[in-house]
Amino acid sequence: MIVNRKALTFWEKLYLPAIIGGLKVTLRHAYNTLILKKVVTMEYPEQKWAVPADYRGAPYLVKDQDGNTKCVSCQLCEFVCPPKAIKIIPPGPAGQLADRSNAEKMPQAFEINMLRCIFCGFCQEVCPEEAIFLQKDYSLTGLTRAEMIYDKEKLLALGGTVGGVQKWKNKLEEAKEQETFPVKV
Amino acid sequence: MNWSFIIFSLVKIALAIGVLHAIAAYAVLVERKVSAWIQDRVGPNRAAPPFVKYIPVLGPMLTRWGIFQPLADGLKFMLKEDFTPAGVRKMYFWLAPALAVIPSLLVIAVIPFGSQMGNQKMVIADLNVGILYTFGIVSLGVYGIVLAGYAANSKYPFLGGIRSSAQMISYEISMGMSVIPVFLIAGNLNLSQIISWQTTHGWLVIYAPLSFIIFIVASFAETNRTPFDLPEAETELVGGYHTEYGSMKFALFFLAEYSNMVATSGMMVTLFFGGWTLPFWGLDQPAHSLGIGILQILIFLVKVCALMVLFIWVRWMFPRFRYDQLMDLGWRRFVPLALVNILITAVILWMKS
C-alpha cells in the first residue's frame, strides 16, 4: 500500500506548529506532575501495593487458634517441594512428643531455604494439617545466605495464626465416647 | 602587567570556573528533574549523605529535591575504575576528554559576568575582539569529539565523531553569521561595549530577533543537544563518541557538554539579553557598591539559568533530526537566512544613517 505523504504547508515547514504543540504537551505534563501532583510513581519502600487476595508469597508455618503448632512433621511438603527448599527433621522414635494433645509428633527442625523457594504453593496444597500457608510477603532480604534459611521459630513467628478446623482437637473425647458405645442421641 | 592584575585575574578565573562547574553539576540534576516532570515521574529524590536525615525539616526536603544527587554522581565518577579498552589509540584517547573540556572553559574568559566590584571589572579578559575569540575557541571543541571518535577504534564512536565534525562545522557557519547583525547594530566587537550599548538602546533581541533564533538553534547543534544530538544519539550509536569512555574521562565529556551549555547561554545573555543589566532600578549602570556588584552577577546567573532551563526543556520536547534533515536545515535554511538577515540589517542601518 502506498500512502502519499501530504506536502507540508509553509506554516508547517517553519516547524512552528510542531514546536508549539511540543511546548504545550511538555508543559501540560510538567504542570500535572509538579503543581497538581498527579504522580503515578509509587515510592516503593515507603509505599507498598496491596497484593491480591490469592497472592502467593513466602510460605510460613502457622499456629491454630489455641496457639499450637499445626505441623505434625509428616514430610509431605518436603517430598513435594520442587526446588527442595524445605528440610524437615522429624523427632524420631524416641524424640520429643508434640506440644499438643492427640498429635503424634512435631518437627524437631523445620527449615525453608527462601533462596530456593519458588513460591509455587505445592506445600500448602499438599499439607494435610493446613499447617503451612503461602502468605503475602514478597520482599525477603538478607545479607548472608545463612540468614535466608528460615528455621521453625522464625517461620512460626512470621506465619501467625490461621484458625479453621482443628482436626485433632476433640479426638480424645470422641475416642472415649466410642467406648460407651450406644452414643447418646 | 602588575601583581594585582595577576592575582585578581587568578581569583576571577578560579571563581568563574568554580561557579561554572557548580552550574554544570546542578544542570545535570535539573535535567533529570525536568525530564522526570515532563515524563510524569518524580526524579532523583533519595541520595543524601548519612547525617542529613537528622536535620529536622530541611534535610528530608533537600533530599527530595535531589540536592545531593550531583555529589553522589561526581563521587561515583571519581571512584570508578579508569578503564582504557584494548586497541584504542592511547595518546588521543587520553587527549580527547581534555580537548573537549578546555574550549568550553576558555569561552567564559571573555563573557562579562558582572559590572565591577571595587575597581575590578567582572570579566576575566576584556578583549576588543571578544566574539571572534569565542568563535575561534568554540570551533576547537569539535576536535575533542572527533578525536574521541577516532581514538576509540570502534565503529559507533567513529560514526559519532564523523557526524559531529560535519554538524558542528556546518552550524558554526550559521552561528557566526547570525551574530553579524548584532555587531552591525551595536558597532562593536567588545562584549562589555555591547552590554553598555544595550543599556541605552534596549536589549538586542528586540533589534535582531532572527539572529537570536538562528543563534539559539545553532547553539543547540553546537552543544550536541537534542534535537541535534546526532553525535551521541543513544538510540542509534550506543553512546556516540564517548561509548568507549568510562569514569572520569566520561565525566569530562559530560562536563564539557554542560559547560558548553553554560558558555553559550552566557553568550546569548550577553549578546541578546543585556548581560548583567536589568533595565530598571538603576541596575543597568556599573555598580558602585559591593552589594550591587554581587546583585548584578546574580542577575547574570539567573538569566543564564533561565536559558539553561530552556535548553533542558527543549531536549525533552523534540525528537532527533535525521542526519540529512539536519544538514538541510543547517545549509539550506539557516545559512541563507543568516545571509539575508545580514543584508537586511545592513540596508536598514545604511538607510537610517
> CA B138, CA A118: separation in Å to the nearest integer?
59
Residue A25 distance to chain B (closest CA, Å): 8
Per-residue pLDDT of chain A (185 residues; tens, 9 = 90+): 899 988 888 888 777 788 888 888 988 988 888 888 888 888 888 888 888 888 898 999 988 887 788 888 888 999 999 999 999 998 888 777 777 767 778 888 899 999 999 999 999 999 888 888 898 888 888 899 999 999 888 888 888 888 776 766 677 677 777 777 765 55
Separation CA B266–CA B306 (nearest Å): 10
CB-nearest to A23 from B36, B37, B317 is B317
The Cα B147–Cα A24 span in angstroms is 39
Would you call A19 and B318 a contact, using CB atoms and an 8 Å cutoff?
A: yes
Helix axes B155-178, B130-138, angle to 10 degrees: 160
Q: How far is B41 from chain A (nearest CA, A)?
A: 6
Q: Considering CB atoms only, which of B38, B42, B45 is closest to A29?
A: B38
Which residues in chain B are closer than 8 Å to A47, comparing Cβ atoms?
A: none
| Chain A hits for B39, Cβ within 8 Å | 29
Output the nine-digit C-alpha cell for A114.
Answer: 527462601
Q: CA-to-CA distance for A138 and B36, rounded, in angstroms?
A: 28
Residue with cell 513435594: A80
Low-confidence ranges of chain B (pLDDT < 70): 1, 118, 282-284, 287
CA dihedral B290, B293, B294, B299 (to 10 degrees): 160
Cell (9 digits) for B300:
547574570
Instruction: Specify the amino acid at residue A46.
Output: E
CB B164 within 8 A of CB B221: no
Report which of B336, B269, B338 is spatially closest to residue B298, judged by C-alpha positions. B269
- Residue B233 to residues B160, B190, B226, B311, Cα–Cα distance (Å): 8, 36, 9, 17
> First and final CA of chain A: distance in angstroms?
86
A interface toward B at CB cutoff 8 Å? Answer: 19, 22-23, 25-26, 29-30, 32-34, 38-41, 43
Per-residue confidence (pLDDT) for residue B37, from 0 to 100: 87
Residue B338 to residues B103, B161, B227: CA-CA distances in angstroms?
A: 25, 26, 20
**C-beta separation of B190 from B130 below 8 A:** yes
Please choose, from the candidates B239, B81, B61, B251, the residue with its C-alpha nearest in 3D space to the C-alpha of residue B164: B239
Contact A33, B40 (CB under 8 A): yes
Q: What is the DSSP string of B320-350?
A: PPPHHHHHIIIIIIIHHHHHHHHHHHHHHHH
Mean pLDDT of chain A: 84
Cell triple for residue A78? 518436603
State the ipTM, two decimals: 0.71
pLDDT digits 0-9 by tens, B134-177: 888 888 888 888 888 888 888 888 888 888 888 888 888 888 88
Nearest chain A alpha carbon to B37: A30
Which is nearest to A88 in space by CA: A78, A98, A101, A80?
A78
User: Beta strand pairing status for A59-61 and A109-113?
Assistant: unpaired
Q: Do B37 and A41 touch (CB under 8 A)?
A: no
Amino acid of residue B335:
V
Give the chain A residue whose CA is nearest to the CA of B312: A26
pLDDT at residue number A185 = 58
Answer whether B39 sits within 8 Å of A19, measured CB to CB. Answer: no
Interface test with A, best of B40, B53, B213, B312 (most A CBs within 10 A): B40
Q: At what angle do helices B247-272 and B209-222 cross, to 10 degrees?
A: 170
**A81: burial class by Cβ within 10 Å (0-12, 13-18, 19+)?**
buried
pLDDT tens, residue by residue, A122-153: 999 998 888 888 988 888 888 999 999 998 88
